[in-house]
Amino acid sequence: MPKIISISKLNYAYPAEEGKAPHPALHDVSLEIEEGEFIAILGHNGCGKSTLAKHLNGILKADSGEVTVFGMNAADEEKVLEIRKNVGMVFQNPDNQIIATVVDEDVAFALENLGVPYPEMVERVNEALEWVGMTAYRRHAPHMLSGGQKQRIAIAGILAMKPKCIVLDEPTAMLDPQGRKEVMKTLLRLNREIGVTVILITHYMDEAVQADRVVVMGEGEVVLDGTPKEVFQNVGLLHSLSLDVPQTAELMYALRQEDIKVPIAVLSVEECLDELEKQLGGIGK
Amino acid sequence: MIKTENLSHLYSEGTPFQTTAIEDINIHIPKGDYVGVIGHTGSGKSTLIAHFNAILKPTSGKIFIDGQDLWSADKKTRIQTRFDVGLVFQYPEHQLFEETVYKDISFGPKNMGLPEYEIHKRVDKALDFVGLDRALLDKSPFDLSGGQKRRVAIAGVMALEPKVLILDEPAAGLDPRGRDEILSRIRDYHRETKSTVLLVSHSMEDVSRNANSILVMNKGRCVMHDSVPAVFERAEDLVGMGLDVPKITRVFISLREKGYPVSPNVYTVEQGKDELMKLLRKGGEAND
């Protein structure tokens, strides 16, 4: 798969407040992202993950190093519009992202600004609503919807621009478990069925384990980068970064401390059962 | 401490939009208990707790706080209830409004009509409970980080020194570190003040790690109210209600279904490990 985003030795510090030193947020971050990947980015608050995300579509500009997005320099003022058509962003609070009073008008907002002809606009809006499963709500008022539904409308608004990549900054943090599942299902579907590259910033392990690749950040640097299985091997390190580890991996880790030979990166209930049965081998049955 | 009798609440009563939010709730929460309140969105959790400090008036049924029937008492008693039962709403940082952190935390005690020195003492104590630095007192709450704002908002309710502290999803939107920090502060508060605490949460893991008992709401009814182990004993029912039980609980339910003699009552990694080690040791002895 072709590389669509390439970050090399990116450094960024937030400008100094009066009488204070600049606040460094990213330190020599290098990362390559291929088309069609589903990447989860983990890290505690203040580790630089949102700062990193904001470099991907030109909201922030690197102090040093380079961010190349679809062959364009993300810091190039003239390319910003083109980049934003390709890389859409969804933020945490659904209420801050909805502008219109009717769902389909909200989804059409960016297209109107881009001057997309009406018939095409209608088609794109319908398609986007279909993808997020909100067609039935197209004439509804957004403020009457649940958090998960609102977030799916925000995703549809981005989808209507037909981006190749969507970056989501903790889109599920304010949702209930039901809403979280809805959003996650939508993202997986977009990724698997139309090949949209998804970069998902999250605190939830059950979301991260569903990604193809997990990037863990700590204090402005990339600490771990690999498949969920590779990353969740490192239970001790993840603890030291105050991150959660899936309970099944925690259990395996605890058993390992007792000299029981089990693999650590066990991420689902089914897998965990299999491993335990191997160990127990029918004891007590 | 809190008791309800056939408590029901209808929204938009007498209109075509009439919906039953909670129905026929009969519970008794003893003084000093730490109760986890779970149920998914729309199950009636928020409606229920809004009755405990007289924000909502029941459509029918009764609420007793400290033996006092709230709605047959006079208005003064109900105002007192607002101080006795402190309610921290979801995303309480959205309700900060004063110019300084000190003014925001002292707003409640001031309204109670307490003397200045007492207000000062309470702000100080509340600050300790939530772990905020005194250097922040003169700052505008709007200049703080999200986690700090949340703590200021919680401190504002703790400064009332309520007999009952109710928190609606106090960890929502925080990262794991922020969540653990807030929950451990609340635990300390509960232990030190011996007050009654109600923690409303979607997370069975958070509830099981913090509360002594659990109240489960489903479709407007209270379907379980028991100790943490007793509620987890019915983990299958919880799954049936669409609640997310911890992964580890699901592992042990399945092991039990497969015929292994393990407790179905496992909800922490520690308990899980102990159960397995017990079983493995038994296996080891049998082989010797």
Closest residue on chain B to A244 (Cα)? B176
Tokens of A23: 């606040």
Architecture of the domain spanning B2-245: 3-Layer(aba) Sandwich (3.40)
Is residue A277, in this structure, part of any structural domain at all? no
Amino acid at B193: T
Query: Domain residues for A94?
Result: 3-245
Shortest distance between the Cα of A5 and any Cα of chain B, in A, equals 27
**Residues A31-47: tens digit of each pLDDT:** 999 999 999 999 988 88
User: Looking at the complex, does the CB of residue B79 fall below 8 Å from at least one CB of chain A?
Assistant: no
pLDDT at A21 over 70: yes
Q: Give the count of domains, chain A.
A: 1
Confidence class of residue A135 from pLDDT cuts 50, 70 and 90? very high
**Among A224-228, B54-58, B62-66, B264-268, which stretch is predicted with the lowest mean pLDDT?**
B264-268
**Residues A250-279: tens digit of each pLDDT:** 999 999 999 999 999 999 999 999 999 999
**Among A49-53, A92-96, A181-185, which stretch is predicted with the lowest mean pLDDT?**
A92-96
Q: How many CB pairs under 8 A join A and B?
A: 102
Give residue B2's pLDDT: 94
So where are chain B's domains? 2-245, 246-288
Is residue A260, in this structure, part of any structural domain at all? no
**Residues B161-209: tens digit of each pLDDT:** 999 999 999 998 888 888 999 999 999 999 999 999 999 998 888 998 8
Phi-psi region of A11 (alpha: psi -120 to 50; beta: other; left: phi over 0): beta
Chain B positions in Cβ-Cβ contact with residue A45 (cut-off 8 Å): 145-147, 174-175, 177-178
User: Looking at the complex, does the CB of residue B270 fall below 8 Å from at least one CB of chain A?
Assistant: yes
Choose between A20 and B112: higher pLDDT: B112
Is residue A11, in this structure, part of any structural domain at all? yes
Chain B positions in Cβ-Cβ contact with residue A269 (cut-off 8 Å): 247, 250-251, 254
Closest residue on chain A to B256 (Cα)? A285
Is residue A142, in this structure, part of any structural domain at all? yes
Tokens of A132: 């997020």
Is residue A270, in this structure, part of any structural domain at all? no
Are A198 and A191 in contact, with CB atoms under 8 Å apart?
A: yes
Contact state of B277 with A177 under an 8 Å Cβ cutoff: no
Chain A positions in Cβ-Cβ contact with residue B247 (cut-off 8 Å): 246-248, 269, 272
pLDDT, averaged across chain A? 92
Contact state of A44 with B260 under an 8 Å Cβ cutoff: no
**Mean pLDDT across A99-108:** 92
**Mean pLDDT across B252-273:** 89
**Residues A112-127: tens digit of each pLDDT:** 988 899 999 999 999 9
Q: Which of residues 226-255 of B touch A (CB under 8 A)?
A: 242, 244, 246-248, 250-251, 254-255
Q: What is the CA radius of gyration of chain A?
A: 21
Confidence class of residue B120 from pLDDT cuts 50, 70 and 90? very high
Residue (of B10, B11, B35) closest to B24 by Cα position: B10
A92 CB-side CA count, 13 A? 13
Question: For position A167, which CATH number holds?
Answer: 3.40.50.300
Chain A positions in Cβ-Cβ contact with residue B259 (cut-off 8 Å): 285
CA B214 to chain centre: 10
Q: Which residues of B77-110 are buried (b: 16+ CB within 10 A; e: fewer)?
A: bbebbbbbbbbbbebbbeebebeebbbbbbbbbe
A contact set with B (CB within 8 A): 44-45, 92, 146, 170, 173-174, 176-179, 203, 242-244, 246-248, 250-251, 254-255, 258, 260, 269, 272-273, 276-277, 279-281, 283-285
**Mean pLDDT across B7-24:** 89
- SS3 per residue for chain A: CCEEEEEEEEEEEECCCCCCCCEEEEEEEEEEEECCCEEEEECCCCCCHHHHHHHCCCCCCCCEEEEEECCEECCCHHHHHHHHHHEEEECCCHHHCCCCCCHHHHHHHHHHHHCCCHHHHHHHHHHHHHHCCCHHHCCCCHHHCCHHHHHHHHHHHHHCCCCCEEEEECCCCCCCHHHHHHHHHHHHHHHHHHCCEEEEECCCHHHHCCCCEEEEEECCEEEEEECHHHHCCCHHHHHHCCCCCCHHHHHHHHHHHCCCCCCCCCCCHHHHHHHHHHHHCCCCC
d(CA B72, CA B67): 12
pLDDT at A284 over 80: no
The four Cα atoms B114, B116, B117, B118 give a dihedral, to 10 degrees, of: 20
Nearest to A260 among B251, B280, B286 (CB): B280
Residue (of A204, A196, A214, A199) closest to A175 by Cα position: A204
Tell me the ipTM for this assembly: 0.80
pLDDT at B220 over 90: yes
CA B184 to chain centre: 13
Confidence class of residue A98 from pLDDT cuts 50, 70 and 90? confident
**Residues A159-174: tens digit of each pLDDT:** 999 999 999 999 998 8
Q: Which of residues 135-164 of B touch A (CB under 8 A)?
A: 145-147
Is residue A282, in this structure, part of any structural domain at all? no
Cβ neighbours of residue B105 closer than 8 Å, sequence gap 6 or more: B123, B126, B127, B152, B155, B156, B159
